[in-house]
Amino acid sequence: MALTEQQIQEIKEQQSQENSTKRVTSPELEKILYEAIPILDHGFIRVIDYMGDDSSIVQAARVSYGKGTKKVSTDEGLIRYLLRHWHSTPFEMCEIKYHVKLPIFIARQWIRHRTANVNEYSARYSILDKEFYIPTEDKLAAQSKSNRQGRGDILTGDQAQEVLNILKDDSTRTYQNYEKMLNERYDGSVIDENKDGLARELARMNLTLNSYTQWYWKTDLLNLMNFLFLRADIHAQYEIRVYAEAMIETLKKWVPITHSAFLDYRVGAAHVSSKGLQVIKSLLNGNEANFEKSGLSKREWNELMEVLEKKDLLI
């Protein structure tokens, strides 16, 4: 990860601020506020701002439930109850804002989560950074033979090196052409004083999708957890998963009680269909599991057996 001198100075100035407030704060999150957490080769996330903490969730829940909730013994018990039973509205009372630097092809996957406020760096006004995501060799994999959107075996040897060379060469060449069309280099110098550069909004279309972009991404706690549940999953694409995993760590610092309940009832939980539940009940009663009678598809059956660690029943 490379930060410009201007970004480094901005972070120092932000972290040196001392503001008094009557609002709730999260001490552990305050410690890393504005800090750039490195992701991939040139990316990062930064927590820029937030509103609320675990107590804000409890406060909102007790307003909606009325006096009866005063009998709840602890905030932790209430938060875990809310998350366990999908009472989601109180979690919307907390918000967080990230500054994210990420490859464009991951940004296009990320933006599919249409539950946030986003403001992206504009290549119509500014020149994009001369930085590209190049995977490490152990992340170069063939197409999965069983999953159209997944990865298979890792490429090795000459084939892996050939792919890396193509990625590096294409990125470098297209950026050089980008500068040529702009008639301006990344450092701001003009290439040819006798030529006009192409408009930035047009020149950008030649760049590769592994170029880096940046945005501010603000969302509420409920939708953040929905995002993390999908993108921190082992089946998610590696390049977006590492961002999600880093964001889970910021979640822990921000709302530790909610984070613990989220790991228990979402990340570490299994969601079973009614037919799958019947299979589990049958096994608990000492009966043999029967795929043909289960009514499950082959994929559903295997997913359930994986969860139950019944490898001998995979088909």
- The pair of three-digit structure tokens given for residue 172, joined into one six-digit string: 């470098």
- The pair of three-digit structure tokens given for residue 185, joined into one six-digit string: 């280099």
Phi, psi of 289 (to 5 degrees): -75, 135
Q: Is 113 left (phi over 0), alpha (psi -120 to 50) or beta?
A: beta
- The pair of three-digit structure tokens given for residue 143, joined into one six-digit string: 């197409």
Count Cα neighbours of 207 within 13 Å in the Cβ-side half-sphere. Answer: 25
Question: Could you give the CA distance from residue 6 to residue 198 in angstroms, rounded to a whole number?
Answer: 27
Question: Could you give the CA distance from residue 116 to residue 110 in angstroms, rounded to a whole number?
Answer: 10
- The pair of three-digit structure tokens given for residue 65, joined into one six-digit string: 């439930």
CA angle in degrees (0–180, nearest 5) for 77-81-83 = 120
Our measurement of the distance from residue 149's CA atom to the centroid of its chain's CA atoms, rounded to an integer in Å, reads 17
From 173, 185, 231, 241, the catalytic residue = 231
- The pair of three-digit structure tokens given for residue 282, joined into one six-digit string: 């049958």
Contacting residues for 295 by C-beta, under 8 A, at least 6 apart: 275
Question: Could you give the CA distance from residue 27 to residue 68 in angstroms, rounded to a whole number?
Answer: 30
The answer to whether the beta carbons of residues 258 and 57 sit under 8 Å apart is yes
- Is 231 labeled as catalytic in the residue annotation? yes
Which residues are known to be catalytic? 231
